[in-house]
Amino acid sequence: MIEKVRILFVCMGNICRSPTAEGVFTSLLQAEGLSEFFEVDSAGTHAYHEGEPPDSRAGSAAHKRGIDLGHQRARRVNLDDFESFDYIVAMDRSNLEDLAGLCAPEHQTKLRLFLEFASDLPETDVPDPYYGGPQGFERVLDLIELASRAMIAELRKQHRSIA
């Protein structure tokens, strides 16, 4: 039986950035034949949209790139997540700080800022596109795809069991 690497992507409301990251990352894993080695989920630091699907603009932008977000529903991070996930990846510093405040000391090393994986980018945060136009969702997709590719490459080096 394969021991899966468990990744949780986190933004504020879990309707724009983190479900997009879950969708992009999952799509890239499928394209590379790596799905069996990973479990991927997303959550928010707040419960504003709990139970709701991703923002329609995020879904539309992702769909144009062949990524389906339709099965996802927003949920809030819970304390069990810090125990069960190997990587808890925040979309921005504010959410990283929120996660650090909830997380027990023994799990702090699981917390990462997503764009740290794409070290050649000038940005450190995936911008929240919620209050902007369609171009914001496209930019978020671009950043998430770059960071996802870099994260997969790093995880392949760290976890030798991944083909």
Query: Which of 11, 16, 81, 98 is labelled catalytic?
Result: 11
pLDDT at 162: 84
pLDDT at 1: 66
Give me the residue label for tokens 């090393």: 109
Is domain 5-158 annotated with CATH 3.40.50.2300?
yes
User: CB–CB of 109/88 below 8 Å?
Assistant: no
- Token output for 161: 């069991």
Active site residue 75: no
At residue 102's C-alpha, the angle toward residues 96 and 106, to 5°, is 95
User: CB–CB of 44/18 below 8 Å?
Assistant: yes
pLDDT at 163: 67
Per-residue pLDDT tens digits of the chain, which is 163 residues long: 678 999 999 999 999 999 999 999 999 999 999 999 999 999 999 999 999 999 999 999 999 999 999 999 999 999 999 999 999 999 999 999 999 999 999 999 999 999 999 999 999 999 999 999 999 999 999 999 999 999 999 999 998 888 6
User: Which amino acid does the sequence have at 131?
Assistant: Y
- Token output for 153: 């490459």
pLDDT at 27: 98
Tell which residue, 127, 122, 116, 94, has the closest CA to residue 17. Answer: 127
CB-facing half-sphere around the CA of 16: CA atoms within 13 A? 22
pLDDT at 161: 82
Active site residue 128: yes
Tell me if residue 58 falls in helix, strand or coil.
Answer: helix
111-113 β-sheet, strand order: 38-44, 5-11, 87-90, 111-113
Q: Where are the domains of the chain?
A: 5-158
Query: Which of 6, 41, 128, 160 is labelled catalytic?
Result: 128
Query: Which of 17, 41, 55, 92 is labelled catalytic?
Result: 17
